[in-house]
Amino acid sequence: MRAEASRRWPYVAAVWTSVYGVAHVWWLTGPGAASAPPEEKFSPGRWAAVTLAFIAAAVCSAIAAGVRHHWPAPARWVLVALAWVVGAGLIAYSYMLAISLATLLFDQVDHWGSLLTRAAGATAGVLTVACAVAEQRRVRQACSYCARVHGRSPERRTDPTPRWAYVAAYVAIAGCTARVSVLVLDSVTARTPLPFALGSSFGNFVVLLTLAGTLLPLALVHRFGRIWPRWVVLLAGRDVPRWLVLGPALSVGAGMAGYFGVAGMTAWLLGRGNLDQAPVWKVSMEMFGYTSWGLGLLAAAMSYYALTRPNCPSPNRTDIPVSSRARSTRSGMRSSNSTS
């Protein structure tokens, strides 16, 4: 059932990205220009969305053809790489989605058309990435039950977190520390109350943002983020729902990496958005802080995703890849035939 569902992703992604691209073409060249939502600030323009969307549709269609006609592995790896790139590009183009959702929480949405367009673009990117992941699993000959490559992938939640994930998580914490330090310094310099103590919507937002830069990265790499600790009395020892941690990590990480790493850096380098009026050290701490924060969350989330996969339901599972078992079986048959 999982294998059949994974084969549908290319078709779903191809249709969605095509519709998304056609909508942008209609806004650019057709009678829908008057009703088009505003273009994203500091982005390459709406034609970039059109290009990414149609490339994604073509790549996803090619992946579907490769699965159907059993193309060779090198060609399929190229398609996987392209799908990752254009999928990430579509998500990055919709970098304002996280900000739009945050304003939605505080009932301050500026333009509903922009919100829906950003959501559609991010969905197109996610579908393309899902298409890439499904094809990557097929090319790697991953387990059809749990998507692991047994013998090389983590098998349980208690397995150790890789060192690179720890590095990524603490890079995210360092980025958060840099950004919050600038915020605190601004408050002290202006002799205004710290935003944490305001008790307003902005104060609550800052508190949640700080938790996303401290507690969230730690939960991605430490055991308490995968298994409830003892002090959570009613849930101690049970599995933490993976999307309770993964959802915020992916959304916040992608939003920060896109908004500040792409749009913010572009505006800074081009001297737009009044960023050239602030001290260089201050803008550097904000931009590099947010960017490293977002990228660190995304990298640590990759490890968390692998560690929290559901247990493999296959009754014949072993801890070595299927291809290795097949090779060992064939070699054993050859050796038995030679001795006989």
Q: Indicate whether 103 and 207 sit together in one domain.
A: no
**What pLDDT does residue 190 have?**
79
Domain range for 26? 2-139
Cα–Cα distance list, 175 to 98, 146, 185, 316 (Å): 18, 34, 16, 45
Exposed/middle/buried for residue 31 (C-beta within 10 Å: 0-12, 13-18, 19+): exposed
Q: Indicate whether 133 and 178 sit together in one domain.
A: no
Q: Is 339 inside a domain boundary?
A: no
Domain boundary among 107, 139, 171: 139
Neighbours of 245 (CB within 10 A): 21
Rounded to 10°, the helix 201-221/280-307 angle is 50
Q: Is 337 inside a domain boundary?
A: no
Q: Indicate whether 96 and 213 sit together in one domain.
A: no
Q: Indicate whether 251 and 190 sit together in one domain.
A: yes
**What pLDDT does residue 213 have?**
94
Q: Indicate whether 178 and 95 sit together in one domain.
A: no
Q: Is 336 inside a domain boundary?
A: no
Per-residue pLDDT of the chain (340 residues; tens, 9 = 90+): 455 556 777 888 999 999 999 999 988 886 667 677 877 776 777 888 999 999 999 999 998 887 777 788 888 899 999 999 999 999 988 888 877 777 776 666 667 778 889 899 999 999 999 999 888 888 888 777 777 887 777 888 888 999 999 999 999 999 999 998 888 888 888 777 776 665 666 777 788 888 999 999 999 999 999 999 998 888 988 999 999 999 999 989 988 888 888 878 878 877 777 777 778 888 888 899 999 999 999 999 999 998 998 888 765 554 444 344 444 333 443 433 444 3
Q: Indicate whether 51 and 185 sit together in one domain.
A: no
Q: Is 278 inside a domain boundary?
A: yes
Rounded CA-CA distance 139/77 in Å is: 7
Sign of the CA dihedral running 95, 101, 102, 106 = positive
> pTM higher than 0.85, yes or no?
no
Rounded CA-CA distance 268/266 in Å is: 5
**What pLDDT does residue 150 have?**
77
Which residues have CB under 8 Å from 77's CB, separation 6+?
Answer: 139
Q: Is 335 inside a domain boundary?
A: no
**What pLDDT does residue 96 have?**
80
Q: Is 97 inside a domain boundary?
A: yes
In the chain, how many domains are there? 2
**What pLDDT does residue 145 have?**
74
Q: Indicate whether 298 and 188 sit together in one domain.
A: yes
Q: Indicate whether 102 and 167 sit together in one domain.
A: no
Q: Is 119 inside a domain boundary?
A: yes
Rounded to 10°, the helix 242-256/97-105 angle is 120
Q: Indicate whether 35 and 107 sit together in one domain.
A: yes
Q: Indicate whether 24 and 108 sit together in one domain.
A: yes
Q: Indicate whether 57 and 126 sit together in one domain.
A: yes
Q: Is 328 inside a domain boundary?
A: no
Q: Indicate whether 30 and 92 sit together in one domain.
A: yes
